[in-house]
Structure 1
Amino acid sequence: MPLNCPQFRLRWGRWRLILAICAGLAVPCVLGAIALPNFMTDGLRAKSAEARFNLQGIRSFELSWFDEHGTLLPAGPVPGAVPSGTRLGEPAQKVEFVPDPGFQALEWKPEGRVFFQYRVTLTGPRTAVATARGDIDGDGRLAEYRLVISPDDRRTVVENLTPDHY
């Protein structure tokens, strides 16, 4: 069949249309497959910023308490249970933060509801460790952050104890 025959052009035109439609559908699917996991990870990193920010706040209040009273104050864990989803795979829901006597004495309370459980544990007469634990993605594995508090050590680095987990 000659290439300039109308039937050949019609058949090739149909295939070109089908290929164009397939390519048009494939490009967004591939881009979505690449972008969606990155988007979800960024959302989880944003949630984990709550823990870093609140641990810095706890540190400031603990050092103020130390300046006034000469000791650090244990507090928490608050909330009583680590916030998580109601089913495996379901993202954690924010829960109400009701301060225990330790956090009440420090006069520290985060703004609104929280994704993490907070605790201050004394590790010596002049040192304490503030921790935040939460299951922000609902997979059953906890993300945990720690900040050492000491009037002798003014470092403010929040350690991620689960670096592979946000």
Structure 2
Amino acid sequence: MASRKQWVLISAGVAVLCLAIWGGLYYRGMRALGEGLAGQGAFKAEKPTDTEARINVLALCDAVQSYRDEHGAYVVAGPTPKAVPKGGVPVPFPKDEAFQRLGFEPGEEVRFQYEVVVQEGPVGEPEVSCIARGDFDGDGQNSVYRVRLDSNGMTTPVEVEHEGE
């Protein structure tokens, strides 16, 4: 029978051996990954998604409703930026007085154009739409993301037209 010291030494040796094997495999994997990325550009931008639009139209409608709750009126805003961003390339979001009043700040750069539209509804209540437009593939056809506010301040789910355009 081996003594307690021998078992401790054997266990420590096995642990060191396992760490060495794992470290070697990790190093080889990271090296292979690095070589693979080198050919593709290690800092290649990720493919843009519509997450920005989906989050921001909901945030915009929340801001519109909060403003109405506090001031008693809806604010029309945008379209901002003036041109719809194309190809998924972010563009600066210019300062806009109406968006600033609402407290809507989508970030310094955006991949979508934002707008708040207020129209008279068929029963006299205003219809409010918060809209984001983008053209990821640069073909001139816009994807449109819309959230509507009802007279009670409730938002609809995000509606999407021409998704992926």
What's the TM-score bracket when you normalise by the shorter of the two chains?
A: 0.5 to 0.7
Q: What is the match of residue 133 of structure 2?
A: 133
Q: What is the match of residue 110 of structure 1?
A: 106
Return the alpha-carbon distance in structure 2 between the equivalents of residues 68 and 109 of structure 1: 19
Q: Aligned pair in 2 of structure 1 residues 120, 92: CA closer, same or farther (>3 Å)? A: same
Deviation of the 1:153 alpha carbon: 4.9
Return the alpha-carbon distance in structure 2 between the equivalents of residues 145 and 158 of structure 1: 6
Contact in 1 for aligned 2:61/2:155 (Cα 8 Å): no
Deviation of the 1:49 alpha carbon: 1.2
Return the alpha-carbon distance in structure 1 between the equivalents of residues 154 and 128 of structure 2: 13
The residue type equivalent to 2:74 in the other structure is L
For each residue in 1:26-78, what CA deviation from the matched residue of structure 2 results, as whole angstroms up to 9, or x when unmatched?
xxxxxxxxxxxxxxxx945xx21110100011011111101111111100010
Contact in 2 for aligned 1:72/1:127 (Cα 8 Å): no
Aligned residues: 116
Of 114, 119, 123, the match for 2:115: 119
For each residue in 1:56-103, what CA deviation from the matched residue of structure 2 results, as whole angstroms up to 9, or x when unmatched?
11011111101111111100010011111xxxxxx3310010132210
SS in 2 for 1:102: helix
Return the alpha-carbon distance in structure 2 between the equivalents of residues 73 and 134 of structure 1: 22
Q: Aligned pair in 2 of structure 1 residues 61, 118: CA closer, same or farther (>3 Å)? A: same
The residue type equivalent to 1:145 in the other structure is Y
Return the alpha-carbon distance in structure 2 between the equivalents of residues 59 and 155 of structure 1: 7
Q: What is the match of residue 62 of structure 1?
A: 64
TM-score by length of 2: 0.64
Return the alpha-carbon distance in structure 2 between the equivalents of residues 43 and 150 of structure 1: 34
Return the alpha-carbon distance in structure 1 between the equivalents of residues 130 and 66 of structure 2: 15
Q: What is the match of residue 145 of structure 1?
A: 145
Deviation of the 1:150 alpha carbon: 3.0
4+ runs deviating over 3 angstroms: none
Question: Which structure 2 residue ranges, 5 or more long, are not aligned?
Answer: 1-45
Question: Which structure 1 residue ranges, 5 or more long, are not aligned?
Answer: 1-41, 85-90
The residue type equivalent to 1:131 in the other structure is I
What does 1:144-163 align with in structure 2 at a 5 Å threshold?
Answer: 144-163=144-163
Q: What is the match of residue 53 of structure 2?
A: 51
Return the alpha-carbon distance in structure 1 between the equivalents of residues 128 and 92 of structure 2: 25
SS in 1 for 2:119: strand
Contact in 2 for aligned 1:58/1:130 (Cα 8 Å): yes
Return the alpha-carbon distance in structure 2 between the equivalents of residues 99 and 147 of structure 1: 23
Identity %: 35
